[in-house]
Amino acid sequence: MTFTTKIASYANHFEIDQGLIGLLQKRMTDPDKVVMAPKDYFTVTQLVNPAQTFWDRTTGGVQKSPELRRKLAKGNRLQDVASIWFQKLPDFLVEGSKLDGALVGLRGVRGELDYKIGESIIELKTKDKLPLTTEEILMDFPHDLEQLLIYSALDPLNPDINYLVFMTNKMPYKFATFKVIIKDLNQIKNMIQERIKILKLAIEEKNPHLLGRCRYFGQTCQYEKETCTCNQMSPLDTSMFSKAIELKFDKEFNEKLEAAKAKSNQKEIDWFSKWEVLNPRLHYMDRILGETLEYDAPDYDKDAYAACLWSAIKKLNMDLNLIERKQIYTEKKEHRIKVGFHWLKVPHSGKNEYQTLPFIYKVSSASTISFANSPNDYHLAQLGVMCAAYGVSRGLIIAVHPKLNKLVRVFQVDYKNLKEMQKLIGGRLDGCEQAEKVQIPLQLDSCPEFINKNKNCPMTRTCHSEKGKGCIQGLYYPPKSIS
């Protein structure tokens, strides 16, 4: 029995929730009719460094140096650590929210903001050294500022006060927080549209001359020693900043952050996603090697389905209020598991007026109705990990099925022996931490074969360097052949 099937086996009862299905179906936009970003959209991080995006797209990419990969992985890890402190701030709303420009008339860009506190967007950046003045930001980190500005334009609420937070990447993790006040949103929207236009043109014509110098030129850009022409380019124009925004150090917010960190005793813990708990080598790959596995795209627009389902869930108006959210965060049992805050307050005719339930939402690849009529083990295990992390025994799986005429299914699932499941998961995480400490990935369970069917996982050789230890049955690379 794999770890996934073991966790799934704690689900002892499920039922289809027809009421919620009906409500969701009524509110769900047809994913085929939604004009999402086109396939060749850019992410926000690609837009803020167009020269590098150009070389990525036109050369197929150059591998980042191991040093840079480790640095990026460390940045991600610290981001997770800092999340704990952000969650302690009053008005903390959400972490990692997806945005698509297509929904606000800026088609062609997608992104994911770090945090929302109240209505403000927070962008966190880890650095070797903190910028102390606004001039330093404009000189050294204009791309970080641009990133925050683009999120403010993509957010349908267009918040006009946002924060750019820098954090040192070494203990004691000092902060420098800058308040960014939007004075002219149109300037930012124009910049986004212009950036998309010149980037597309440059890629089409294979000519980077309009894109300016890479923002990492002379620092960590992997193209510098290869093909790039950045030494002949000027830095990108940043004059828009003076017209569009006001930027200033925010002592009060900075002190709040320092206080939240102090309250947590600066304890450094690493976090695992639900998927990484089930597939710990993916966590190893990210944290130790700074690599990620690129999943093959299905033959439907998975992002469009996920966005429509998410939007229908939001339209249910079953969100928790701030006090209820805080209560749930406070009662979380396993702090090493990182899960998006997905909870619904579902009206109920029983003893209590509402059931407050965690949920996962999925775009399912099931192609027969019999598979769609019961939750699969991967979904049961992911919801199980979420329930164990929060110490609750009931949750929801909400799924849409592109191959079954957009069928929506909602399963209410009950789990037994919560304490035993929590112990099992806790032991799993201890094992992961140990394997990462000694850097022996083969101590960890392998992933399921289907996620690496094209053998494009960066760890394929390592994982198959011992017979029977990899995800692909029968594949074996003798250790000497590992390059």
Contact set for ligand SF4, span 425-464 (CB under 6 A): 446-447, 451-452, 457, 459-460, 463
Region of residue 118 (left: phi > 0; alpha: psi -120 to 50; beta: else): left
User: 155 or 286: whose CB is closer to ligand SF4?
Assistant: 286
Near ligand SF4 in 89-118, by CB under 6 A: none
We find the least distance from the C-beta atom of residue 481 to ligand SF4, in angstroms, to be: 15
> Closer to ligand SF4 at the Cβ: 244 or 457?
457
Measured from the CB atom, the residue of 161 and 293 that comes closer to ligand SF4 is 293
Answer for which of 28, 470, 473, 478 binds ligand SF4 (CB under 6 A) is 470
Q: For residue 236, what are the contacts with CB-CB under 8 A and spacing of at least 6?
A: 50, 142, 211, 212, 213, 215
Which one, 79 or 460, has the nearer CB to ligand SF4? 460
The site that binds ligand SF4 (CB under 6 A) totals a number of residues, namely 14
Contact flag: residue 4 with ligand SF4 (CB under 6 A): no
- In whole angstroms, the minimum distance from the beta carbon of 75 to ligand SF4 comes to 21
Site for ligand SF4 in 290-329 (CB under 6 A): 293
Count other Cβ atoms within 10 Å, centred on residue 60. 7
Q: How far is the CB of 59 from ligand SF4 (least distance, A)?
A: 25
CB nearer to ligand SF4: give 331 or 449.
449
State the minimum distance, in angstroms, from the CB of residue 430 to ligand SF4. Answer: 20
Residues 197-256, interacting with ligand SF4 (CB under 6 A): none
Q: Which stretch binds ligand SF4 (CB under 6 A): 258-266, 280-288, 345-353, 424-432?
A: 280-288
Please identify, using beta-carbon distances, which residue of 147 and 382 lies nearer to ligand SF4. 382
Choose between 363 and 447: whose C-beta lies nearer to ligand SF4.
447
Contact string 126-165 vs ligand SF4 (x = CB under 6 A): ----------------------------------------
3-state SS, the chain, equals CCHHHHHHCCEEEEEECHHHHHHHHHHCCCCCCCCCCCCCCEEHHHHCCHHHHHHHHHHCCCCCCHHHHHHHHHHHHHHHHHHHHHHCCCCEEEEEEEEEHHHHCCCCEEEEEEEEECCEEEEEEEECCCCCCHHHHHHHCHHHHHHHHHHHHHCCCCCCEEEEEEEECCCCCCEEEEEEEECCHHHHHHHHHHHHHHHHHHHHHCCCCCCCCCCCCCCCCCCCCCCCCHHHCCCCCCCHHHHHEEEEECHHHHHHHHHHHHHCCCCCCCCECHHHHHCHHHHHHHHHHCCCCCCCCCCCCHHHHHHHHHHHHHHCCCCCCHHHHHHHHHCCCCCCECCCCCEEEEECCCCCCEEEEEEEEEECCCCCHHHHCCCCHHHHHHHHHHHHHHCCCEEEEEEEEHHHCCEEEEEEEEECCHHHHHHHHHHHHHHHHHHHHHCCHHHCCCCCHHHHCCCCCCCHHHHCCCCCCCCCCCCCCCHHHCC
Nearest distance, CB of residue 332 and ligand SF4, angstroms: 28
In this complex, which beta carbon is closest to ligand SF4, that of residue 429 or of residue 447? 447
Minimum distance of ligand SF4 from residue 377's CB (angstroms) = 17
Nearest-approach distance from CB 444 to ligand SF4, in angstroms: 8
> Minimum CB separation from ligand SF4 for residue 457, in Å?
3
- Closer of 28 and 285 to ligand SF4 (Cβ): 285
Taking the complex as a whole, the smallest distance from the CB of residue 310 to ligand SF4 amounts, in Å, to 27
Q: Which of 285, 344, 381, 389 is close enough to bind ligand SF4 by CB under 6 A?
A: 285
**Closest approach of ligand SF4 to the CB of residue 281, in Å:** 4
Tokens of 189: 């929207």
Which of residues 143, 281, 362, 409 is near ligand SF4 by CB under 6 A? Answer: 281
Question: Residues interacting with ligand SF4, by CB under 6 A?
Answer: 281-282, 285, 293, 446-447, 451-452, 457, 459-460, 463, 470-471
